[in-house]
Structure 1
């Protein structure tokens, strides 16, 4: 291979990577709250009911403290934290109430896929939960876009 062929191959690879990167970033959309002055992402990676209650309490308190139009709250559940979003969860009504008030609940599809592989059954989750491929990736994406990460 000549130097010019190597250079062309490297440039093509670079352009291909540049084209792929924005597409993957677009897979995890931001909330539609253009006037939000405060952006918070709450991490939930624990199945402990006390921690789940704390996450819900923090989201609820933020809605009371700030004008709901001025705050964007996103709860990202992954690993054991997705238990909160099961259709049979004891806290389903609380989650759905927060969703109705504009709080977004993301569920990690990698975790869901792992559960399905291990049990042979895909778990049922609250339909209003927003599926994201990688929960931690969603937290990173939000942090890079001005969200403050809180892990109650």
Structure 2
């Protein structure tokens, strides 16, 4: 009998530092390799949103993770404050009303919280 549980994990990204962003990608990939029944959402706000831009150096990696079922969500408050439209984000990135609010909602719904 295998593990039938579905694990849900929300990752927090609020920096655009290369080391932090690459650590996040490694954490997500390692989690996906370790746990088969996992639902993952990466929530970006503040400087973390810049990693989700179409012209970022990470756009291909984000696209691959989206194709693998990872949800990426950008904070609408940050987008509005910085004058960024959702069309400037990597295709498939969702927007949420508030990055912090999204993380709080996920945690209240029982999601594990990871800040790489």
TM-score with structure 1 length normalisation? 0.70
Please identify runs of 4+ aligned residues in structure 1 that moved more than 3 A. none
More helix by share: 1
Q: Are 1:47 and 2:16 an aligned pair?
A: yes
Ranges in structure 2 where 5+ consecutive residues have no aligned partner: none
- Unaligned 5+ segments in structure 1 are 1-34
Alignment partner, residue 80 of structure 2: 113
Query: Residue 21 of structure 1 corresponds to which residue in structure 2?
Result: none
Counterpart check, 1:138 vs 2:105: no
Show CA shifts across 1:2-24 (max 9, x none): xxxxxxxxxxxxxxxxxxxxxxx
8 Å contact kept, 1:115–1:122: no
Matches within 5 A, 1:141-152: 141-152=105-116
The correspondence of residues 1-152 of structure 1 with structure 2, limited to 5 A, is: 37-67=6-36, 70-116=37-83, 122=85, 124-152=88-116
Instruction: Calculate the TM-score normalised by the size of structure 2.
Output: 0.91
SS of 2:20's partner is helix
- Higher Cα Rg, which structure: 1
Higher strand share: 2
